[in-house]
Each structure stands twice: as structure tokens, then as C-alpha cells.
Amino acid sequence: MKIHCSTEHLAERLATAARATSTRASIQVAAGVRITATSSEEPGELAATDLELSLRVPIEFEVEQPGSAVVPARLAQEVVRSLRSDRVTLEADPAGGRVQITAGTGVYGIHTHPVDDFPKLPEIDPERVFEVDRAAFTATVERVIRATSKDESRPVLTGALLQIEPGRLTMAATDSYRLAVKETVLTDEVPEPIEAIIPARALAEVTRLATGSGPISVSADRNQIAFGVDGVWLTARRIEGQFPNFRSLRPEGFEHEVRLPRGELADVVRRVGVFARHNAPLRLGFSNGEVSISAQTPDVGEARETIPAPFGGEPFEIGFNVDFLRDGIDTASGDEIVFQLISPLRPAVVTGTEDDFWYLIMPIRLST
């Protein structure tokens, strides 16, 4: 393999592909990026996979000699992005084991991983590909992704449930302390409905790729789901298992419904929340015409602020984890948020006023 490429283009494409590499995976080649050069007529490809996630990234280069090589991602990136000349040449040693990078007077020899060790990447069946609106997709991901769980012992919760059906895109995520659900109107044609649990990391990578415009391609089979963004294909292993029946978790009725100005509430929660450290709860005390927001951490300090609220009825106090509450307030939309409450030990629901999003949050039991 011998190719000539724009240094800037190569650096940018390498950085994209490297997102799917891992130095922690069980196989060494997972830390590498495979460069494939077929001919100058076809675009080349960079590919990387850590076995959970894989990326195929098209790249423009001039092919002097077709072939392929697997370069260690981090080292190749470090070299290429620090080069000062505009063009760079990559040449694989015919005997294998090395790639030589030449730029200006600089010559860099990199030890490579065996191409044969590189895992077979999932194929995408062009027949099954359909398109969804990019903005609708990324906006939906952003509303729920923070509620995914980091606890690997419950794999189902480490992903978000994705439902694509005619007219509607739904995503739901829960770490069992809160649950975020976003429904978005979809005008794209959906050939067959999809319901899949997608690893949070894959969704985050898709939104990272999807900064431009134009639709996102989607293709799913039993084990994999693939997203195509501007020619880049990201494939992720679907998480097996049954996602909780999230609609049934939303209480059917509430005792209180309180509308609060979103910006002001967010500010107060941020300020007072400074004093809710080490898992100390943020307390919301509802009483006639106001809500007081307070927090106290032993040996740190305490804070309290009050904002007017259209609340009537028996006063009560409910505690929340400040980060969970803040995520809900931040991801709801509109100038106002609506708190739906039952009692101090029952779930509360936060919604915005502008679109179809709800965020259920479990309280913290208050000791006094």
C-alpha cells in the first residue's frame, strides 16, 4: 500500500475513526485504525472497532499502490496532526509490520498490527437502509442520554430504547433513579418499525458526527444497528434484553401540579445545589404560594432560597439528588417547567411546556 493524502484531511479522518478504538479491549488490534486503499477511482476507507462499536470513515487519497494496513490510532494521530507539510505519504513495508509516513523531509516509521487480525466489520444491507431527519434524531438523543445508567451490571439500562415507527421517533432512558422520555414527530418514511436498545456511547458518537445537515441513515438487523452520517457508518451492537415498560412507570394521577419559571428555578437549583454535596439531598419545600429550595451538607454549610409558586394545599417537603433534578430542568424545554407531584416518597414528573418530553425523578427519603 502506498497513498498520498492531504495532511489535514488525514488528521481529521483519523480523529473520527479513532473514536471507535479502545486500548482496553481484549485484542490489541482494537487500538488500531485500518487503512484500506483500493484504487484512486474509489474513496479509501479508515475503519476501527473495539468490538462494541465500529466506524467506517471514507477518506480521499491518491493511491499509488493498493493495499491495507492497521496503524496504532493514537501514535498515527500524534504524528499526523503535528506535521507541518500539506501533503503526506503513507507506505506499507512490503514485508509487513511497518508503515512509513513521509512528509517534507520527515520520515516516521510506525509498527503496525497484522491486517489479518483486524475483526470483520458488520456489513450494511443497502436494502434495509432508510433515512430519518437529522435534527429530530440528535435533539431526541440529547434529551434522554443523560438518564442512561453507568452501572454495567444492568446492561439494558446502559443504553437508550429507540423506537422508530411511522410518524414518530421515541427514545427512553433510565438509570432507575430517573427516567427520560422524548417523543418526536417524524415525517420520514419508515419501511419497517425499529425497536432497539442502543448503547449510550453509540448514540453520543452519532450526535458528535451529526453536526452538519442532511438526513441520518439507519439500518438495523437482529444484532446490530448502523447509523450513516455524511458517508461515515457507525455500527453498534444492540443491547440484548427487555427494556422496562417505561409508559407504565408514569403515575396515572398527581396531587399537585406546579408551574415554575425554568430559568429562575435552574439558577436557584444551581446556587443552592452547591451545598448538596456528598449525596446530601436538595430539599424542595412547597407551601402556600411559594417553594423554598434548600440544602445542607454537614461540615460544609447550608443555603436556602425561596421563589413564588402557585401552590395551595397541605405544605410538604420532598428531596432530590441535585444532579438528577438539574438534568430534568435543563432538558425540559420552554420558559416554564411543570412539576407533577404526589407525595414525598412517590415519583415526581418534570415536563417542559413546548414539546413531548417527560422526566420522571425518584425522590430521596428525607430523614427529618
Partner 1 sequence: MGRVVAHLDLDAFFAAVEVLEHPDLAGLPVVVGGSPDGRGVVATASYEARAFGIHSAMSAAEARRRCPTARFVRPDHGLYSRHSRRVWTLVEASVPLAEQVGIDEGYLDLTGAVATAGDADRYLRALQQRILAETGLSASFGCGTSKVVAKIASDREKPRGVTVVAAGREATFLAPLRLRVLPGIGPKTDERFQAAGLATIGDLAALDDAALARLVAGAVGPELRDRARGIDPRPVTLPGRAQSVSVEETFERDIATAGEVREIVLRMADDVAERLARDARGAQAVTVKLRYPDFAIATRSQSAAAPFSGPEEIARLALLAVDRALAARRPPVRLVGVGVARLVDAEQLRLPLP
Q: Does 273 bind partner 1 (CB under 8 A)?
A: no
Binding segment for partner 1 (CB under 8 A), chosen from 32-40, 96-104, 173-181, 211-219, is: 173-181
Element (H, E) at 282: strand 282-287
Q: Does 179 bind partner 1 (CB under 8 A)?
A: yes
Which residue, 206 or 284, is less far from partner 1 as judged by CB?
A: 284
185, β-bridge pairs: 168
- Residue 311 C-beta: closest distance to partner 1, Å: 22
Tell me the three cell numbers of residue 123: 456489513
- Residue 290 C-beta: closest distance to partner 1, Å: 24
Q: Are 218 and 203 in contact (CB under 8 A)?
A: no
Helix 134-144 and helix 322-331, axial crossing angle in degrees, nearest 10 = 160
The neighbour count for residue 142, using CB atoms within 10 Å, is 15
Place of cell 475513526: 17
Q: Are 67 and 78 in contact (CB under 8 A)?
A: no
Which residue, 12 or 175, is less far from partner 1 as judged by CB?
A: 175
Q: Does 328 bind partner 1 (CB under 8 A)?
A: no
Q: Does 26 bind partner 1 (CB under 8 A)?
A: no
Q: Does 149 bind partner 1 (CB under 8 A)?
A: yes
The dihedrals phi and psi of 221, each to the nearest 5 degrees, come to -125, -165
The one-character DSSP state at 212 is: S
**Cα–Cα distance between 324 and 322 in angstroms, integer?**
6
Residues touching partner 1, count (CB under 8 A): 28
Q: Does 153 bind partner 1 (CB under 8 A)?
A: yes
Reference 239, options 308, 291, 173; nearest CA is 173
Q: Does 187 bind partner 1 (CB under 8 A)?
A: no
Q: Angle at CA 155, nearest 5°, toward 151 and 156? A: 115
Amino acid at 70: V
The dihedrals phi and psi of 24, each to the nearest 5 degrees, come to -100, -10
Which residue, 120 or 278, is less far from partner 1 as judged by CB?
A: 278
The dihedrals phi and psi of 307, each to the nearest 5 degrees, come to -125, 145
Binding segment for partner 1 (CB under 8 A), chosen from 49-57, 115-123, 145-153, 215-223, is: 145-153
Binding segment for partner 1 (CB under 8 A), chosen from 10-18, 171-179, 227-235, 263-271, is: 171-179
Binding segment for partner 1 (CB under 8 A), chosen from 24-32, 35-43, 169-177, 186-194, is: 169-177
Cβ burial, residue 204 (10 Å; 0-12/13-18/19+): middle
Q: Does 157 bind partner 1 (CB under 8 A)?
A: yes
Helix (H, G, I), strand (E, B) or coil at 152: coil
Amino acid at 159: G
Q: Does 244 bind partner 1 (CB under 8 A)?
A: yes
Site for partner 1 in 283-322 (CB under 8 A): 319, 321
Q: Does 174 bind partner 1 (CB under 8 A)?
A: yes
Helix (H, G, I), strand (E, B) or coil at 338: strand
Q: Does 367 bind partner 1 (CB under 8 A)?
A: yes
Among 177, 188, 251, 261, binds partner 1 (CB under 8 A): 177
Which residue, 75 or 362, is less far from partner 1 as judged by CB?
A: 362
Site for partner 1 in 195-214 (CB under 8 A): none
Binding site for partner 1 (CB under 8 A): 149-151, 153, 157, 174-177, 179, 242, 244, 249, 278-281, 319, 321, 345, 347, 360, 362-367
